[in-house]
Structure 1
Amino acid sequence: MTQASSTAPVGIIGGTGLTTLSGLTIAGESSVSTPWGEPSAPLVEGRLGEQSVIFLSRHGNPHRIPPHQVNYRANILALYEAGVRTVVGVNAVGGIHPDMGPAHVVVPDQIIDYTWGRGSTFFEGDLDSVTHIDFTFPYDAGARQALIDAARRESVPFSDFGVYGATQGPRLETAAEIRRMERDGCDLVGMTGMPEAALAAELGMRYVCLGLVVNWAAGKSDHIITMEEIEEAIEQGMSGVKTILASSMAQLGQLSPMPRPS
């Protein structure tokens, strides 16, 4: 892992349960626009510990934008244009793997994309040439290690692996769909992991997911999924997510920027 001193802000994209970030010393916020439209919410600038950060609420604040209607291109480009080169995407997910139950924290290492119809690339329209990015490892190794080190240092129970299956939403999945995803190798299911990770890769940004399991996936428990269950898991597990974020900031901030694909 190559590291260098950096003053670039770390981007944090908050999902369900993380529309605001406690412990963030706010310096200001800005409403911005991009060639792809407006991001979900204003960019909140501040510091988390000694590290400058820019926080963006993925679903808006208040929480109002469903997963399939998030303007992922505007969100990622807005952070990039604000100087962010490392992004932590915080995601609420369903647990498929037997060790990944409600309130458990996961730092996944792979993605399978089941979404459709979303604006999923910057490389379209009037192009000089077709561009294909390498996406073998969708989550940056250095950023993953920073989260893993922080979780171990702070004694937060977590898993350092997992395949994130990204579904379309906003409905939850059927039990048969989850069985198919399990056969495909998925350990987690969520609705916002893609195209966010791929768009960050297209801009050469380091991207990592910090997942909080908020329910057992469909068919993995003896009852239907309720919002009460999800809210209880968020209340139990979000403190661990915030602890990892705060403890990892210094290491994330030292990661050197990567070249932008062309």
Structure 2
Amino acid sequence: MAVGLIIGTGVDARAFVEEPRFGPVRTPWGEAEVARAQAEGCDVVMVRRHGAGHSIPPHRINYRANIAALKELGVTHVLATSAVGSVNRNMAPGDFCVLSDFLDFTRTRPFTFFEGEDGRVIHTDMSRAYCSGLREVLLDVARGQGLRVHAEACYACVEGPRYETPAEVKALAMLGADVVGMTNATEALLCREAGLCFGTLALVTNWGAGIGPERLDHEQVTQEVLKNTNRLVSTLRETLRRLCERPVRCDCGVTGV
């Protein structure tokens, strides 16, 4: 089987593959840069969410090309990393969480493969926003690695690239969000449309605005990821190994791209 790996802020592809070689893959939605390799006995297709050198802001990522490229290369399961801010006082910086649901507050980015251009209108079921099978494996591995990990977390996806205001953080908490980020919900939706199982291990890197005393900056987020890189990578590598030994079975697939 082939597993997609979407790596985000602060995570280096070389943590999984010694010399990853990224190259373009053409899709109907543009080009995606991917690297194909072997890791933990798996065929792995890696995508750097923000491009080389973290050069693409969240609202400019070509999410459709990234997910379509994974699909075209035979990927069936996708694992992602995510650096998130916390709007839940029980989820502190340094904690991990396995995302279980999302709230989508993005506004300008393309977010669907189904534009109706072929005469079909498709309404995708999102009753389970993340693959239950992948979530179970991620949680089991994370606990086995000794991580402080939360079994469920609702991810609020905002447009970015700015951080949220204190009022927005309060509102997100009132709506049921636990953590906030700028990318993951779009990936979750597109993976569901493409019929790909999708799971995310998120690292809480900071308190949301107004909760902690600090001003927010990207360097703080990156440093928190770097502090926890070994634990994050170890958990994902073990998850890859388990998936290739025993793929999860679920009903995530729909008629996709």
Question: Could you say which TM-score interval applies, normalised by the shorter chain?
Answer: over 0.9
- 1:83-118 CA distance string (max 9 Å, x none): 111111211110111122222211011100010121
Deviation at 1:224, TM superposition (A): 1.2
Distance 1:23 1:71 in 2: 23
Q: Are the structure 2 counterparts of residues 143 and 224 from structure 1 closer, same or farther at C-alpha, using a change threshold of 3 Å?
A: same
The TM-score, its normalising length taken from structure 1, stands at: 0.91
Aligned-partner residue type, residue 243 of structure 1:
S
The yes-or-no answer on 1:14 pairing with 2:19 is: no
The yes-or-no answer on 1:240 pairing with 2:234 is: no
Equivalent residue, structure 1, for 2:91: 100
Equivalent residue, structure 2, for 1:169: 160
> Any idea what SS the aligned residue of 1:177 has?
helix
> Any idea what SS the aligned residue of 2:50 has?
coil
The yes-or-no answer on 1:200 pairing with 2:191 is: yes
User: Which of 123, 144, 152 pairs up with 2:114?
Assistant: 123
Deviation at 1:60, TM superposition (A): 0.3
Deviation at 1:257, TM superposition (A): 7.8
The yes-or-no answer on 1:36 pairing with 2:29 is: yes
Equivalent residue, structure 1, for 2:220: 229
Aligned-partner residue type, residue 169 of structure 2:
I
**Structure 1: stretches of 5+ with no match in the other structure:** 1-7
> Where do 1:26-105 residues align within 5 Å?
28-39=21-32, 42-105=33-96
> Any idea what SS the aligned residue of 1:31 has?
strand
Distance 1:61 1:28 in 2: 12
CA RMSD of aligned residues (A): 1.7
- 1:120-172 CA distance string (max 9 Å, x none): 11110422321111101110000111111111222122111110000000000
Aligned-partner residue type, residue 55 of structure 1:
M
Distance 1:189 1:27 in 2: 30
Distance 2:64 2:91 in 1: 30
Deviation at 1:26, TM superposition (A): 5.0
Aligned-partner residue type, residue 2 of structure 2:
P
2:9–2:222 contact (8 Å) kept in structure 1: no
> Any idea what SS the aligned residue of 1:194 has?
helix
1:85–1:257 contact (8 Å) kept in structure 2: no
Aligned-partner residue type, residue 158 of structure 2:
T
**Structure 2: stretches of 5+ with no match in the other structure:** none
Aligned-partner residue type, residue 10 of structure 1:
V
Aligned length: 253
Q: Are the structure 2 counterparts of residues 37 and 217 from structure 1 closer, same or farther at C-alpha, using a change threshold of 3 Å?
A: same
Distance 2:219 2:25 in 1: 35
- 1:29-66 CA distance string (max 9 Å, x none): 43211110112xx2111122212211110110111000
Equivalent residue, structure 1, for 2:248: 255
Equivalent residue, structure 2, for 1:189: 180
The TM-score, its normalising length taken from structure 2, stands at: 0.93
Equivalent residue, structure 2, for 1:4: none
Aligned-partner residue type, residue 199 of structure 2:
V
Percent identical pairs in the alignment equals 34
Distance 1:216 1:21 in 2: 29
